[in-house]
Amino acid sequence: MIVYGAEAPKTFERDPKIIGRFTYRFTFNPTSDYVTPYFGANTIDIVLEPPAVSLEHKNAMRKQGFVNSEGKGLAPIAWIVSNCHSFSGRHFYVYQLQKYIDVDIYGHCNLTRLWPRVINGRDLSPNRMSHKKLQWAYKATAIPIVDGPKDYSAFAAARTALVQTEDHTPKSLARLVKELDSNDDLYKNRIGYKYAKDPSHRPTTKDLSPYFVRTWTNPNPPEEGSHRQAWPSSYEESIYRVCELAHDISEGLVQLNPMQRL
């Protein structure tokens, strides 16, 4: 009845004989019938949190690395990844990117260097839409690199908050990252919602993209009689609505149409 997955829908929709047995989707994609979100009602609060550590500390880590890194500095880019051969082909982009700039890699796909880490607040991580790694980047005061959909406006805290691979060749992206890595003012200006020019100013929603703020603060209630959830979504609400649907089916209040399949 309901297909659940924490990965991109294409991962489990390749075989029509399998996906055709289900009526509803329960994934992180906002267009799913039920959403298991990586972003939620606290998204605005996460984005507006003060940096966890100072920029000076990040710069020091950039040069020195961790205690067990034998004095090896951190790369200006961190790639956080679990699927080493995504159908998007993003790993080929990273292969080319490494020709022009060092990349530390978190996860199973160790293409060059060992166990990467979050660096200098400028770490950029290719992510799919609304992925949890994008939220990690905001918490780390990083500038995420994203691939996939052309329109990330619902997830861009500010106009310059994200970098999309579609807008850059690997060479031009490496050049941009090096500029951000070597120029603190340029870096802070790009994410001004974290680093206000006036030290006494605490960033508010006025410092963020209006569309981003509307997306994550104005709930959209589901249609009357629908089991679909409101937006912004929450995992608890999704589970509640799935259980509500199961109850209504068991009580005969909802009839599944055998012709309605994914």
Strand partners, 163: 145
What distance in Å separates the CA atoms of residue 24 and residue 36, rounded to the nearest whole number? 13
Over residues 42-49, mean pLDDT: 88
How do residues 215-259 score in pLDDT, each as one tens digit?
887 666 666 655 555 666 677 778 888 888 889 889 988 888 766
How far apart, in whole angstroms, are the C-alpha atoms of residue 157 and residue 49? Answer: 12
Q: Is 206 exposed, middle or buried (0-12, 13-18, 19+ CB in 10 A)?
A: exposed
* Distance linking the first and last C-alpha atoms of the chain: 10
- Fold of domain 43-215: Rossmann fold (3.40.50)
Q: Band of the pLDDT at 120, cuts 50, 70, 90?
A: very low
pLDDT at 118 over 50: no
- 3-class state of residue 146 by DSSP: strand
The domain segmentation of the chain, as residue ranges, is: 2-37+233-250, 43-215
pLDDT of residue 174: 93
**Confidence label for 210 from pLDDT (cuts 50, 70 and 90):** very high
Cα angle value 20/24/26 (rounded, 5°): 115
Question: What pLDDT, on a 0 to 100 scale, did the predictor assign at position 172?
Answer: 95
Mean pLDDT, the chain, whole residue set: 77
Given phi > 0 = left and psi -120 to 50 = alpha, else beta, which region is 101?
beta
Longest Cα separation, the chain: 66
Per-residue pLDDT at 175: 94
pLDDT band at residue 12, thresholds of 50, 70 and 90? low
- pLDDT at residue 114 is higher than 60: no
Looking at residue 115, its pLDDT comes to: 35
Q: Any idea which residue has 């998204």 for tokens?
A: 43
**Confidence class of residue 171 from pLDDT cuts 50, 70 and 90?**
very high
Spatial distance between the Cα atoms of 188 and 180, rounded to a whole number of angstroms: 9
**Do the beta carbons of residue 178 and residue 172 sit within 8 Å?**
no
